[in-house]
Amino acid sequence: MSQLLPDILLADHEQIKSHLEELSVLMSKDETFDHEILELFAKCKSWICAHSKAEELTIYELIEQNPDKGNSHMLSFIYEGYEEHDLISRLLTEMGQVEEEVTAPFRAKLKVMCNLILKHIETEEIDFLPQVRTVLSEQELLGLGTMYLRERDAILKKRSGFQRPASSIYSFSLNSH
């Protein structure tokens, strides 16, 4: 069954927030859980990278390349989104160099990164996705959902061997409506 892009993004946000909450709980314990933290961090990193890139390749690119589909506020959000995604990606790459021990600098970076991601998600859910629902047709949102799932799942498979299959893949043209 096909899904609308905003609904897929909201579900992914819940998955990412769940991973971040798990990380926060592990980090707050007095005991050392380095192995568990690093394992969950790797999973979280894969999801965040796949989500961000697929989002950029679908909805960000559509609005950016077709200004008539959005408005100046949406374009501003997209440009800020690219910057936030880039900053998060750089933090994830830097933090991914840790192999065995979770250090105090790693913990600090993780906390900052989590706060940035949560703020980005909140802004996207409150300001951006409702506008996306109003400026794009249901058919466009279904097609974008399919494209997003295909991109995200390919990235997840490449990064970690983990794949959550897209519910339905069909041909879609951004110019179809």
pTM to 2 decimal places: 0.84
Distance CA 141, CA 7 (A): 9
DSSP letters, 119-132, are HHHHHIIIIIHHHH
Domain regions of the chain by residue span: 5-160
pLDDT in tens, 90-146: 998 888 877 677 888 888 888 899 999 999 999 999 999 999 999 999 999 999 999
pLDDT in tens, 53-72: 999 999 999 999 988 887 88
* pLDDT band for position 160 (cuts 50, 70, 90): low
Residue 37 burial by Cβ neighbours in a 10 Å radius (0-12, 13-18, 19+): buried
Cα→Cα distances 149→10, 105, 152, Å: 13, 34, 5
Find where tokens 């993004």 sit.
Answer: 9
User: What's the chain's average pLDDT?
Assistant: 85
Q: CA dihedral defined by 128, 134, 138, 142, rounded to 10 degrees?
A: -10
Find where tokens 């299959």 sit.
Answer: 165
pLDDT at site 168 = 34
Please, what's the b/e burial string for 51-80 (b: 16 or more CB within 10 A of its CB; e: otherwise)? bbbbbbbbbbebbbeeeebbeeebeebbee
For the ranges 15-29, 68-82, 144-158, the maximum mean pLDDT occurs at 144-158
